[in-house]
A and B are shown apart, each in its own frame.
Chain A
Amino acid sequence: MAKAFTPGLTVSARATYRARRLLPVDGEVTVSVGDRVAADDVVAQTFMDGDVFPMKVANMLGASPRDLPGLMLRRVGEQVAVGDTVARSKGMFGMFRTEVRSTAAGTVESVSDATGMVIVRGPRQPIAVRAFIGGTVVEVLPREGAVVENVVALVQGIFGIGGETSGAVAMACASPDEELDADDVTPAMRGAVVVGGARMTAAAIARAREVGAHAVISGGIDDQDLRDVLGHDIGVAVTGSERIGITLVITEGFGEIAMAARTFALLASHAGRTASVNGATQIRAGVMRPEIVIPLDPASSAAGAPAMSAGGATAGVLEIGTPVRVIRDPHFGVLGTVAALPEQPAVLGSGSKARVLEVAVAGGLRITVPRANVELIEGGDR
């Protein structure tokens, strides 16, 4: 029987989380298996090649590119500082010599006798990869990085902006259907991961940046507010590199939508604890969702907790009783459990034929929605 996999987002009170922390290029791993690390600890480091500065030296000397190697005062591999003379022309009878001074500090990388170009490479730039979550190093990937593991509470959001950060969980709203506005954000939330309820307003985000909060989590955001915050529209959902001074994660979607009560309760139960947050989202090849990771008590045992990998997509099989969230209008945001899975396709209001399911929702009602329009609510504790 062919299996119908349906995507889902993880909301788990307790899971074993493995953060695979890798360098972009080979380097040195600074931890060993068994080491305890904090979120900010460096686990691997390397140096990236420095910036490149091309100089058209033969042109500047008025010489032929072929003659350039003979006119260079600094050889390939030698260090230069800004203003150092790197080449000198022969002049006429040893007079009227022209000199070229380096416009950059670094190392002479190449001297081209084909184009007359000299390339100076700037100093190498250090790159450090941090642990992201507090935990134990369970695997070292030589020259690449390490895997850090811990038992955590884990919430996958649907969309985020901004990169990795961490801070104490601070509840700004009293209920999951309360809009997060500027008044809810206080100076005491400096360095915190601020948790709202329903939509986060542009004013609330501005206030959070102003007080120095590290992240804001809420149910939804209005498209216009997001555009105002970023200063541009988003065409495709590939994010994480925005530099707006704060990380934003929405758990449900765009618009006026309340955070799922279970997600809100889970975050509230960890108020004051340190959470690691990554807003990076990629909805293309290699789906990646934003995450809020809250390491639990270090003494807590990992035994029995389901294993999760950082950023990864999840998928499961639809069955009667499976908790689902409707992810498209006209029932967008409605939560319930699968009540029936009719085999035959049904005709929708749009006129299309599609396979559907029935969802039992609050108040004893049943709604019929296309199977493509639900997602599983994944979690190890359900």
Chain B
Amino acid sequence: MSPPPATKTPPDPSRIKVIVATDCGSTTTKAILIELVDGHYRQTQRGEAPTTVEAPFADVTLGVTNAVTELQELSGRRLVADDGTIIRRASDSDPDGCDVYISTSSAGGGLQMMVAGVVRQMTAESAKRAALGAGAIVMDTISANDRRRPHEQIQRIRELRPDMVLLAGGTDGGDRKKVVELAELIAPAKPRPRFGGEYRLPVIFAGNAEVRPEVSRVFDRGFDLSLVDNVRPTLDVEHLGPARDRIHDVFLEHVMAHAPGYDKLISWADAPIMPTPGAVGDILQTIAAKRGINALGVDIGGATTDVFSVFDGAFNRTVSANLGMSYSISNVCAEAGMERILRWVHLPMDERELRNRVKNKMIRPTTIPQTLEALVFEQAVSREALRLSFEQHKAFATSLKGVQQQRTVGDAFSQQAAGGTLVDAMRLDLLVASGGVLSHAPRMEQTALMLIDSFEPEGFTELAKDSIFMMPHLGVLASVHPDAAMEVFEKDCLVYLGTCVAPRGQARAGKPCFRWELRGARDARGELACGEMRLLPLGADERCEMTVTPERGFDMGAGPGRPVTRTVRGGTVGLVLDARGRAIDVPADAAARRATIARWLEALRVYA
């Protein structure tokens, strides 16, 4: 991706000793202070303040100043000048200021796009994957065969207010007419951008390279047209990188630049402002590469949930619009259904009252659960939001490999059924959680069980959480000082919860499921029956050799019934032995279901 307009050159990494980093989220601006302490980079302070991008403040930098002021109060180091700007150190001995200020941002309502392609299952789907991979919310996908008549398509386009349009269609040297037809439908519909006024709607054309002149002619007035490489140059090749990169550029240059106070924030920062999810993706890829593992990260927010995965080095990211824990909580309940949410609840609850509570959270999104009952319900909702987001991720992950992907025509037509080919729960090594409901859960056991219930990891899977949602800050720091970013990541960012041990398979509750044996830091052995869970203590710095022998019909990764030995890592929770089978099933009867859930919660001391 080509970076947005550069700000200033950051200082030589060897001279950087004090770093201030902020992340301007849609509701909260989080600041961290990183200092060189005894030769090691450590995150020393954190502060936060409400984001001030909305009226009545309408200036993102006010929230930044407030958050950094909190750092200043906690550290005793003067960081904010009288005019609200961030102070830089004059010399190595200067006790005030910082050497580098960097920031990420997701304020401004996200990126909303409309995409179009000739054939729904082919170029339109590739365009959609490119947009999703870039972090957009796809408002609608228009294609020549989407079963709508042209005037209905035009009407729909007119109703939408996208931030930008991605138009694909035709392989290089292939269909010309249908591609130009699509352009001719979109241009006269004149979709009005959200920002109105003088904002010229950006259109990115990533279709048949041979029709660029015709497409340019169609969009010659009132649009800001970019031409990039075809997302589908041939039928069996998907090439999403250039379109995704251009989407990022346009997002930074046009969309974010319209967020109030952004010009000031850009001038304050020593490196380009990165979109928050982009920075998280960067750091996750770094971890996966450094440790040579498959990793999956999730960030559940108030409005959306981002899922990131790295399998065999291939990075994918999806953004599930309208699956979140505050603004979108009502949508999670509508999509999942109250019945699915209540299957995670061990307390009797009145459904009508819950529905009203959900709506009250939707209209007052910043409130937090005060009672245990309210917490249990929110964590149940989060399981379904995470599950739905993960489903969406698996459905798209196959095609978001990066710059170029080989796919057969047959694969493309069977995309729905073939989704998830890259994301393999058995081969997942590390699952990282971030976002309020996961990061701020009062007990780590709650975070661990929410992750296990939603993602259903198989085999041996390490569980971790981003301690204070520091991954965005470290992602952008990696672009300035990679060593400092990795050092803070290892020492202060990730909190290891432990390892989940869960065989794949299903059988009737009470039948034998697997035998286990620990050697090393702990020596123990035992067995679990189907439907049981057990927690074994293993501290954060402890590792053990563990052999798991599954019963016939259960698989730990080496095939049904075959034993597997691995080094397992402990954590603040420990080793979670999960013999509930995959997919996790709960009794249909409400009383039996509550009793079963209560047993699992007790085994893991979730609400102890």
Instruction: Mark each residue of chain A from 325 to 367: 1 if its CB lies under 8 Å from any CB of chain B, else 0.
Output: 0011110100000000000000011111110000000000000
Which residues of A have CB within 8 Å of B176? 114
Interface segment, one of B325-333, B473-481, B544-552: B325-333
A372 and B180 contact, Cβ closer than 8 Å, known pairs A114-B214, A352-B440 = no
Whether a CB of chain B sits under 8 angstroms from the CB of A109 is yes
Q: Are A329 and B370 CB-contacts (below 8 A) given A115-B177, A236-B322, A254-B360?
A: yes
**A312-B55 in contact given A283-B327, A327-B367, A330-B371 (Cβ < 8 Å):** yes
Closest chain B CB from A132 CB (angstroms):
18
B154 touches A49 (CB 8 A): no
B357 adjacent to A115 (CB under 8 Å): no
B 167-218 contacts with A by CB, 8 A: 176-178, 180-181, 184-185, 188-190, 192, 196, 211, 214
- Is B291 part of the binding interface, using a Cβ–Cβ cutoff of 8 Å? no
Q: Is A265 an interface residue (CB 8 A)?
A: no
> Are B359 and A53 in contact, with the CB atoms below 8 A?
no
- List the A residue with the shortest CB-CB distance to B176: A114
Q: Is A382 an interface position by the 8 A CB rule? A: no
* Distance, CA A237 to CA B151, complexed state (A): 29
Q: Are A2 and B54 in contact (CB under 8 A)?
A: no
Least CB distance from B29 to A in Å reads: 11
Within 8 A of A (CB), among B79-109: 107-109
Across the interface, which residues of A come within 8 angstroms of B466, CB to CB? Answer: none
CB distance from B56 to the nearest CB of A (A): 6
Please report the C-alpha to C-alpha distance between residue A285 and residue B196 in the assembled complex, in whole angstroms.
Answer: 15
Q: B441 — nearest CB in chain A belongs to which residue?
A: A352
A31 within 8 A of B: no
Contact B151 A52 (CB under 8 A): yes
Q: What's the Cα separation between A309 and B366 when bound, in Å?
A: 23
Select A117's contact among B181, B360, B362, beta carbons within 8 Å.
B181
Q: Residue of A at shortest CB range from B323?
A: A235
Q: Mark B50-94, 1 if CB is under 8 A from A, else 0.
A: 100111110000000011011001000000000000000000000
Distance in angstroms from A80 CB to nearest chain B CB is: 16
Q: How many B residues are at the interface, by size bracket?
A: 35 or more
Contacting pair B108 A285 (CB below 8 A): yes
- Residues of chain A within 8 A (CB-CB) of B442 are 350-353
B110 surroundings in chain A (CB, below 8 A): 285
Q: Is there an interface contact between B370 and A348, defined as CB atoms closer than 8 Å?
A: yes
Give the distance in Å from the alpha carbon of A49 to the alpha carbon of B192 in the complex.
Answer: 12
Expressed in whole angstroms, the Cα–Cα distance for A373 and B374 within the complex equals 13
- Bound together, the chains give a CA A255 to CA B374 distance in angstroms of 16
Instruction: List residues of A (105-122) whose CB comes within 8 Å of B's CBs.
Output: 109-110, 112, 114-117, 119, 121
CB distance from B54 to the nearest CB of A (A): 6
Q: What chain A residues lie within 8 Å of B67 (beta carbons)?
A: 2
Tell me whether B188 and A284 are in contact (CB under 8 A): no
Chain A residue nearest to B328 in the complex (CB):
A236
Report Cα–Cα, A350/B376, bound state, in Å. 8
Q: How far is the CA of A31 from the CA of B502 in the complex (A)?
A: 72
Q: Which residues of B have CB within 8 Å of A85? A: none
Which A residues lie within 8 Å of B363 (CB)?
158-159, 237, 253-254, 281, 283
Contacting residue for B356 out of A1, A235, A255, A314, CB 8 A: A255
Residues of A within 8 A of B417 (CB): none
Contacts of B69 in A (CB 8 A): 1-2
- CB pair A222–B352 under 8 Å, yes or no, is yes
Q: Is the CB of A287 within 8 A of B54?
A: yes
Query: Which residue from chain B places its CB closest to the CB of A227 in the assembled complex?
Result: B355
Q: Is the CB of A327 within 8 A of B322?
A: no
Q: CA–CA, A51 to B362, complex, Å?
A: 36
Complex contacts, B54 vs chain A, CB 8 Å: 285-287, 313
Q: Is B443 an interface residue (CB 8 A)?
A: yes
Chain B 440-489 residues near chain A, CB threshold 8 A: 440, 442-443
Residue interface mask B353-380, A partner, CB < 8 A = 1: 1011111111111111111101100000
Per-residue CB proximity of B29-48 to A under 8 Å, as 1/0?
A: 00000000000000000010
Other-chain residue from A5, A114, A354, A373 in contact with B180 (beta carbon distance below 8 A): A114
**B494 on the interface (CB 8 Å rule)?**
no
Is there a chain B Cβ closer than 8 Å to A244's Cβ? Answer: no
CA distance A82 to B372 in the complex (A): 66
Complex CA distance for A52 and B327, rounded to whole angstroms: 35
Interface status of B138 (Cβ within 8 A of chain A) = no
- Interchain CB contact under 8 A, A349 and B372: yes
Listed by A's residue number, 25 A-B pairs whose Cβ atoms lie within 8 Å are: A2-B69, A51-B155, A52-B151, A54-B154, A112-B181, A114-B180, A115-B184, A158-B363, A222-B352, A222-B356, A223-B358, A233-B334, A236-B303, A236-B362, A237-B363, A281-B363, A285-B26, A287-B54, A287-B55, A315-B57, A327-B367, A349-B371, A350-B369, A352-B442, A372-B366
A residues engaging B (CB < 8 A)? Answer: 1-3, 5, 7, 24-25, 49, 51-54, 65, 109-110, 112, 114-117, 119, 121, 158-159, 222-224, 226, 233-237, 253-255, 281, 283-287, 309, 312-315, 327-330, 332, 348-354, 369-370, 372-373, 375
Chain B residues packing against A (C-beta within 8 Å): 26, 47, 49-50, 53-57, 66-67, 69-70, 73, 107-110, 150-151, 154-155, 176-178, 180-181, 184-185, 188-190, 192, 196, 211, 214, 303, 322, 327-328, 330-331, 334-335, 352-353, 355-372, 374-375, 440, 442-443, 607
